[in-house]
Amino acid sequence: MITAIGVISATAGLWAVEKDLNLFCRLASRVNGYVYLLPIPLAVADIYSTLVSLSLNSQTTELNPFVASAIQYGPVAMVPFLVSYLALSQGIALFMITTGKRLFGNSSSVKWLPFATVCGVSSFGPFSNISGVVLGFGSMLSYASGAISSVALSALVFRSLMGISE
């Protein structure tokens, strides 16, 4: 089922790949282009912190069935999963930039809100996993610190992009 959904999604998105790559290259070449790269390290940090968390505590379980099945099948499934997860993360971020422009207009500084929100949401996994390792696995405090950190990152990304005009 995961393979079928992946093939259908990849086929449906192929028509937009060139447009997305051009937008990504244009955004990444800016002075603050590193901000647009945030979804990639956040996705890597999420997978890595999940694997570390699962390896340190045998009582911890992965709630996302796609991640759990990729981990269960090992490196054969983990490498394609990581590549698709990176592409999905960056693709959603680019989609949110376009969505923000359509919702709020190209001249508004609020157009960056969807992108900043996606960065904040994608940072919840790494922040809560790292907090879980440091504070204790499965504690409500680790989830709370993950949520607070996600909101803070989202606010920082939004603040750094507010003065940008395109």
pLDDT tens digits for range 21-69: 788 888 888 888 888 889 989 999 988 888 888 888 777 777 778 788 8
Q: Check residue 111 and report its DSSP letter.
A: G
Reading the block at residue 99, the tokens are: 């969505």
More confident residue, 8 or 110: 110
What is this structure's pTM?
0.79
| Triad 147, 102, 119: Cα angle to 5° | 20
Do 27 and 19 touch, CB atoms closer than 8 A?
A: no
| Domain boundaries along the sequence of the chain | 2-161
